Homo-oligomer: A and B are copies of this chain.
């Protein structure tokens, strides 16, 4: 289960991005210390844990690499040092940005790992989407918000799917791993950021007589 160092970097990046999105949401809600901790942990590790359970990868990634736990712990404890500064600089966009980065990074991490485990294309794409959205869904549920993936009608899961598609297509035509993963991440995160920036909305299902 040794990952390519490149994939480790992607996983760390996704963990940091989602932990940050959890911290922003939890502190905005004025949760107590334990609440902030648990939201940060669940956001950071939720998606990857579900991915590992579905694919039967054991030990789980945060049990095998307990540095991840220490990293998130350190992020939570140092929050007062950096969150305010970042917030003043980026305002409300910070949350959307962290969320979009986590989405892209975890989508590609899920799809690559599933693909490396010889899963067929459709399964790999689903793993990418599940890995990408589960952390964010749990974060929103814990913070008592309707999950972003359902509430805002701007594409979210679709961006993850798009990124996984690009990754697997480039992989199939033989591009080296770093290039195909980078392209996949850029597609997923980029399309989500564009969707937020231009307020793109998915069409609702055509109305039907009931």
A32 with B204: CB separation less than 8 A:
yes
Q: Which residues of B contact A60 (CB under 8 A)?
A: 54
Closest partner residue, chain B, to A155 (CB atom):
B34
Copies of this protein chain in the complex: 3
CA distance A27 to B210 in the complex (A): 10
Taking the closest CB of chain B, its distance from the CB of A20, in whole angstroms, is 14
Is residue A4 contacting chain B, with contact meaning CB distance below 8 A? no
The interface on chain A, measured as residues whose beta carbon lies within 8 A of the other chain's beta carbons, has a size of 56
Is residue A176 contacting chain B, with contact meaning CB distance below 8 A? no
CA distance A149 to B63 in the complex (A): 24
A56 with B54: CB separation less than 8 A:
no
B69, B157, B209: the one contacting A126 at CB < 8 Å is B69
A27 with B208: CB separation less than 8 A:
yes
CA distance A60 to B57 in the complex (A): 13
Taking the closest CB of chain B, its distance from the CB of A189, in whole angstroms, is 17
Closest partner residue, chain B, to A88 (CB atom):
B209
Closest partner residue, chain B, to A84 (CB atom):
B208
B69 with A123: CB separation less than 8 A:
yes
Q: Which 10 A-B pairs have the closest CB atoms?
A: A32-B202, A56-B58, A30-B204, A34-B157, A66-B120, A27-B205, A69-B122, A34-B158, A63-B123, A32-B204
Q: Which residues of B contact A35 (CB under 8 A)?
A: 150, 205
Is residue A59 contacting chain B, with contact meaning CB distance below 8 A? yes
CA distance A158 to B35 in the complex (A): 10
What are 14 A-B residue pairs whose CB atoms fall within 8 Å in the complex? A28-B208, A32-B204, A34-B149, A34-B155, A34-B156, A34-B202, A35-B150, A36-B205, A53-B53, A66-B123, A69-B123, A87-B208, A87-B210, A144-B146
Is residue A12 contacting chain B, with contact meaning CB distance below 8 A? no
CA distance A53 to B56 in the complex (A): 9
Is residue A49 contacting chain B, with contact meaning CB distance below 8 A? yes
Is residue A153 contacting chain B, with contact meaning CB distance below 8 A? yes
